[in-house]
Structure 1
Amino acid sequence: MDDDKFTKEVSCLMRVKHKNVVRFLGYCADAQGKMLDYEGQKVIADERQRLLCFEYLPEGSLDNYINDASCQLKWRTCYKIIKEICEGLSYLHQQNIVHLDLKPANILLDHHMVPKITDFGISKCFDEKQTRAITKNLCGSMGYMAPESFDGVITFKSDIYSLGIIIIEMLTGQKRYDEIDNVSILFQEKG
């Protein structure tokens, strides 16, 4: 990641403060000179390392609760988690941030099962009046990407599509559930 991208990501994370978004604590950047081979010759080059530090969330990811039948969440807990993910995502969108990789593995839970959106590695910070971007790079995780993402179109709707997939998985207790007609049956079984 070049300096401009790193600076932009850190400044983007610094302005995000919401109970349903993982708290950014700080960063560390270091550069050290190293002797490296380059086109058959030894050259001195700077090797940069950058680390981002976030709050620790002990209950792990939402993904664990969807995949593990023994950890299946009760309806009230599911509702609370879904509502709070929506609040966190709404806040990000109000800050002109498109997450682009919203999935259960990127939603961490604290001791009280409060969900916090994390992993802003590929997120996009839009300018104030910007509502879309076009990219040549495919962004996101398969199964959670909106169809328009495959054409390189990035909008806030991309995250809403991912949120819908997460809600279906939470209600059915199954990953990548194909038969939408049966979602209500599985949801009723959840009680």
Structure 2
Amino acid sequence: MPFYAHGQLDEWVQESLPRWYEVRKVLYEVSEALSFLHENLVVHGDVKPANILIGSDFRGRLVDYDISVDLSQRTRSLYDTEMRSVAMTVGFEAPELMQTGCTYATDVWSFG
């Protein structure tokens, strides 16, 4: 993995105090990455500021795909069984996460 000069999104915002349009650009890039994942049937499952890294080019990258699920490779019953036992970061979990497991909707909720 390459080095990300400005680190995690939350640390970058606190330490560098970027302008609003710089933060907006990073969040737009991450929303595009999340959209790309969903279009390709992948659920990230752990969207949070610590998993958004800022490079020296001030571009945002969505990282940490440890618990991501490729839905194109799973049967529905296997997906339900595996995703009901979810890993989560307190404060970034969607209210329905324990009932539904990780879904596109829980990714979007966590991003918001």
Q: TM-score range by the shorter chain?
A: 0.7 to 0.9
Partner of 2:104: 156
Match of 2:89 in 1: 141
Considering Cα pairs closer than 8 Å and 6+ residues apart, tell me whether 1 or 2 has the greater RCO: 2
Comparing 100-109 and 55-64, the one that deviates more: 55-64
Q: TM-score, normalised by structure 2?
A: 0.84
Higher Cα Rg, which structure: 1
Task: Give, in whole Å, the separation in 2 of the partners of 1:79 and 1:61.
Answer: 15
Distance 1:99 1:131 in 2: 17
Give the Cα separation in 1 of the matches to 2:111 and 2:74. Answer: 23
TM-score, normalised to structure 1, is: 0.51
Aligned to 2:36: 91
Instruction: Flag the 1:131–1:88 CA change in 2: closer, same or farther, 3 A.
Output: farther
Equivalent position SS for 1:147:
coil
8 Å CA contact 2:86, 2:102 repeated in 1: no
Query: Mind listing any 5+ residue stretches in structure 1 that lack a counterpart?
Result: 1-53, 165-191
Separation in structure 2 between the aligned mates of residue 140 and residue 59 of structure 1, nearest angstrom: 25
1:56 CA displacement: 2.3
Deviations 1:159-180 (A, max 9, x none): 100110xxxxxxxxxxxxxxxx
* Cα 1:143/1:131, change in 2 over 3 Å: farther
The question of whether the paired residues in 1 share the 8 Å contact of 2:12 and 2:54 is answered with no
How many residues end up aligned between the 2 structures? Answer: 109
> Unpaired segments of 5 or more residues in structure 2?
none
Residue 127 of structure 1 aligns to a residue in which SS?
helix
Equivalent position of 1:55 in the other structure: 2
What is the alpha-carbon distance in structure 1 between the residues aligned to residue 108 and residue 3 of structure 2? Answer: 26
Deviation string, structure 1 residues 146-189 (Cα, Å, up to 9, x no partner): 1111224221111100110xxxxxxxxxxxxxxxxxxxxxxxxx
Moved more, 72-81 or 121-130: 121-130
Identity of matched residues, %: 28
